[in-house]
Structure 1
Amino acid sequence: MGVRLRILIGLFAGLILAGCSADYGTDQHGQKVPAASIDGQWLVINYWADWCAPCRTEIPELNRLAKEGKGKGYRVLGVNFDGLRDADLGKSAQTMGIDFTVLADDPAQRYELPRSEALPVTYIIDPEGKVREQLLGEQTAAGLTARLSALREEKR
């Protein structure tokens, strides 16, 4: 095999592997969350717990933001602070009225998110996977939309 052919094969394999990042595990319904459905978008990642009163107030705002975000280049994801999984996660998310995707596997390591002991906490991640904001306390759809717009404008 010639040197050029080996280089081309190596480049092609590298491009394929670069586009294949690890999936995000499962959601509150037990469905696989493929990386292709999340990577390359702005992310709003919210940590919540069913015992957190401000989280309960914030969920309808996040549902609104998630609905508005469809097709606009950003996605809302939830993570249960207590690490609930499987049926427990599904039941808790349903009780909380969460309409957006809740990840069973915490993406903190993937994005190098600092552990917060305060709830709720929301992180805004850019399409390259860089943490752009850490927001403590209850958020509104309007406030998060404004922050996303400002951060997207900075990026241009």
Structure 2
Amino acid sequence: MTHGERLAYPKFIIRELEKRYKDKNINLHFIYDIACVLFTHMHKTGEGIPQGISMAVPAFHVYGHKLQCQIMYSTRRLPGFGLTDGEGMERLWSFLRRFSRVTKVMTPSHRLDLLTDALLYYGRRKSTDLEVQLIQRWDKAEVWSLAEEEISAVLKEAPNNCLL
């Protein structure tokens, strides 16, 4: 990237995903900080969003958007995104932030070596903790499911005029 964040980059990624998975019956869930802007732009230009691709704004970023965007593009409100928050890259940048002060005085090759080691460590740590994360997410999903069942039971017992 030489010009900062532009809509051409996510549009390119979407087109590449469309080419790669066109013949397969796969639904892709695309999480982007300004998915609402990208969605509107692609419809205004007549491109549209390819079939089988859903877009959402990450769970924590969405609260900086207008209420309409929060409702239409939150990962919490769209089907298929589950409890994914979409903030994985933000966590990576947060991890790498602590290296900025040290690496700015290094030569490019030493900076590359240190950041490579840091990223390898980060990857190992994430893969080691994967089973723990999956168990935690499964527990959350079970609690979510039980809560939905209980809410449905309460709503069935409630008088009809209460639901208005």
Question: Smaller-chain TM-score range?
Answer: under 0.3
Name the TM-score, length of structure 2 as normaliser.
Answer: 0.26
Structure with more relative contact order (C-alpha pairs < 8 Å, separation 6 or more): 1
Name the TM-score, length of structure 1 as normaliser.
Answer: 0.27
Greater C-alpha radius of gyration = 2
